[in-house]
Structure 1
Amino acid sequence: MTTTRTMRAIAFDRHGGPDVLRPTAVPVPEPAAGQVRVRVEAAGVNVWDTKLRAAPVVRVDLPHVPGLEVAGVVDAVGADLEDTAGAAGGDGPVRPGDRVVGFADTGGYAELALTSVFARVPDGVPATQAAGVPVASETALRVLRLLDVRAGETLLVHGATGSVGAFAVQLAVRRGARVVGTASPAGQARVAAMGAIPTTYGPGLVDRVRELAPGGVDAVLDAAGRGALPDSIALRGGTDRIVTIADPAADELGVRSTYAARRDARELAEVLDALGRRELTVTVGWVLPLEEAARAHELLEAGRAGGKIVLVP
């Protein structure tokens, strides 16, 4: 008789508030072709996790372990070692003991997780920072491609201190763009430290941005969803080159939205290399034990993250 190995995880067996997240014993996942199993050292917490927990936005089997991104040490590899090595975007095969970060194929809020799109973590980059890279960097790069932001142009980023906004600011600055970033009064120094021009959101935004960027705004990324799309349209003189990842009013206003991820291991590896060279930064707001996943969701939904929230088993 074969005994199924189990591991510790956080799961929900019904949709609802953060309190539905409970410690649960689930089967240890086995890597298939193209996958590696990671002993999780840090799991990123994302807005999608909270949406999936709160309501049946997509069909999932219950109980469900949430979590889109994991960083840790390779515990086992799939049969096609060479293919998994290529997936890591690096040289040579990936072996047990290597430090990686990637998009979780199984829930990240667990002791072990599978990933098929991953990259090596550079020396000196802690797992808690690496876990904040996959989702935010992919989203930021996807939006910058859609906006076709170029050197010399001015980009307005709403929510510049959020996970996606912060990556967008830094990546656009590296391209040679001039960036104006909105944030709370407490976040102004962080925006400036990333190389952008800070301003607060709220009433009077159009006038403030026009004063800071008298030559006009070439493109807008809304990563905040705070109702800034009408002001963005006013600044652009139309809906062209405005993209939101957070405002449900996009369709009625004729603004483009984007949610479908384009996961690319080599792109992830490039961002991690820049992080290792300290050309990019990840601000970690909270590091919480895995058992406090409910608190992590409460903080994120209340807008009190202050940076990336990370869970550690």
Structure 2
Amino acid sequence: MKKVSFSRYGGPDVLHLVDAEEPRPGPGEVRIAVRAAGVNPVDWRIREGQFRKERRAEHEPSELPSGIGQDASGVVDEVGEGVEGVKAGDHVFGRGTDAYAESAVLWAWARMPEGLTFEEAAGYPSVVETALRIVREVGIQPGQTLLVSGASGGVGSAVLQIARERGITVIGTAGAANQDYLRDLGALPTTYGEGWVERVRQLGHVDAALDLAGSGVIRELVELTGDPQKVITIGDLSAADLGVRFSGVSGDKVAALAQAADLISQKKLHIPVEKTYTLAEAAAAHADSQAGHTRGRRVIVI
């Protein structure tokens, strides 16, 4: 089979399409014929070795060369020992290992909701789990106002819709081209850049804040909320210097996927796919993801 691999840390150019043996599912796992794989910022952070530098071993490959990618959708073709409730031929989406490939093993999954395409499904697993987790961790309550910095990407799109469903007001920052997109998702939008803090203040009092882009705004978010404990980041590894929590790997992934499937089925959650790529274009997908300005998701289609 074909898979994307890297043998050293570095820029997008370290990614290469290689021949590899098909993986086998272990106990509690399933293997899928991958139809699409989600492109996440954590993927290129791993490729650059950022977590290795921060000693966050849970994100790092055990050895190089290594595959890459953690979100995928596809068709089950092998079931590991002890797995129940799913069989060969079922369409699933979930979290796994080395997802940028023609075949991958998932350790958490859910059945794809009716009407969802493989491309759309691959964009949900990590972002919805992350969105549910950080909204919970930041402690925002119905009736309060949440500031989301970098709100137009996949996680931001999910946060805005989850918050709206829970009666939470959201102020979202994004580029000028994505203001209407944020507004359509129920947020009070404003642009980032010079003067953004004052623009946020004009929109209302901020009870808690989420940093999704890691664009160096932690100090301002603490200033706006008045308390570093009311700020969570998923993008700034230096946030602890200001007393702000970095939210990494935690939570029940299976439960989060089930909740995502339920929200999608009820038409309460939709994350658009902005652009698709082939396996051979994985480096371009990473470069585009790192450039930012995403509206929704980027997905590799097999």
TM-score, normalised relative to structure 2: 0.93
Question: Which residue of structure 2 aligns with residue 142 of structure 1?
Answer: 133
State the secondary structure of the residue aligned to 2:94: strand
Q: Which amino acid aligns with 1:186?
A: A
Q: Distance in 1 between matches of 2:265 and 2:159?
A: 18
| Partner Cα separation in structure 2 for residue 79 and residue 253 of structure 1 | 46
1:206·1:234 contact (CA, 8 Å) conserved in 2?
no
- In the aligned structure 2, how far is the partner of 1:13 from the partner of 1:207? 45
Q: Which residue of 2 aligns with 1:171?
A: 162
Contact 2:214 2:234 in 1 (8 A): yes
Q: Tell me, which stretches of 5 or more residues in structure 1 are unaligned?
A: 1-6, 83-92
Q: Compared with structure 1, are the counterparts of its residues 237 and 81 closer, same or farther at alpha carbon in structure 2 (3 Å cutoff)? A: closer
* Residue 55 of structure 2: aligned partner: none
Aligned equivalents of 1:54, 1:147: Cα separation in 2: 28
Correspondent of 2:15 among 21, 24, 27: 21
Preserved contact between residue 145 and residue 168 of structure 2 (Cα < 8 Å): yes
Change in 2 beyond 3 A, CA 1:155/1:305:
closer
Equivalent AA in structure 2 for residue 17 of structure 1: G
Larger radius of gyration: 1
Deviates more, 1:200-209 or 1:68-77: 200-209
Separation (CA, whole Å) in 2 of partners of 1:195 and 1:49: 29
Amino acid at match of 2:223: A
1:24-63: CA deviations, max 9, x gaps? Answer: 1111111121111111000011112112222372343222
Matched, 1:112 2:103: yes
| One-letter identity of the residue aligned with 1:19 | D
CA separation in 1, counterparts of 2:78 and 2:25?
7
1:131 to 1:262, Cα distance in 2 relative to 1, 3 A: same
Which secondary structure does the structure 2 equivalent of 1:299 belong to?
Answer: helix
Q: Report what 1:233 is aligned to.
A: 222
Q: Which residue of 2 aligns with 1:155?
A: 146
Residue 296 of structure 1 aligns to which amino acid in structure 2? A
Amino acid at match of 2:246: S
Match of 2:91 in 1: 99
The Cα shift of 1:253 comes to 1.4
Deviation per residue, 1:100-134 (Å, 9 max, x gap): 01101x30011111112110001101111111111
Q: Which amino acid aligns with 2:134?
A: V
Q: What's 1:4 paired with?
A: none
Unaligned runs of 5+ in 2: 53-59
Contact 1:130 1:272 in 2 (8 A): no
CA contact (8 A) 1:44 1:132 kept: yes
Specify which of 22, 33, 43 is matched with residue 49 of structure 1.
43
CA contact (8 A) 1:147 1:242 kept: yes
Return the alpha-carbon distance in structure 1 between the equivalents of residues 210 and 49 of structure 2: 27
User: Match of 1:164, SS?
Assistant: helix
Deviations 1:269-311 (A, max 9, x none): 1212211332111121211111110111111122254431111
Instruction: Give 1:19 deviation, angstroms.
Output: 1.6
Q: Quote the residue 2:75 is aligned against.
A: 73
Which stretch of the first structure deviates more once superposed, 194-203 or 245-254? 245-254
Of 124, 136, 144, 2:115 maps to 124
Cα pair distance change 1:173/1:227, threshold 3 Å: same
For normalisation by structure 1, the TM-score amounts to 0.90
Aligned length: 294
Residue identity matched to 2:194: P
Change (3 A) 1:27 1:274: same
For residues 36 and 222 of structure 2, the distance between their equivalents in structure 1, rounded to whole angstroms, comes to: 39
* Farther off after superposition, 267-276 or 173-182: 267-276
Cα 1:76–1:261 change in 2 (3 A) is same
Once residues 292 and 198 of structure 2 are traced to their aligned partners in structure 1, the CA distance between those partners, rounded to angstroms, is 26
TM-aligned CA distance change 1:256 to 1:94, over 3 Å: same
Following TM superposition, by how much is the alpha carbon of 1:13 offset from its aligned partner in structure 2, in angstroms?
A: 1.9
Q: Among residues 191, 209, 229, which one is paired with 1:200 in the alignment?
A: 191
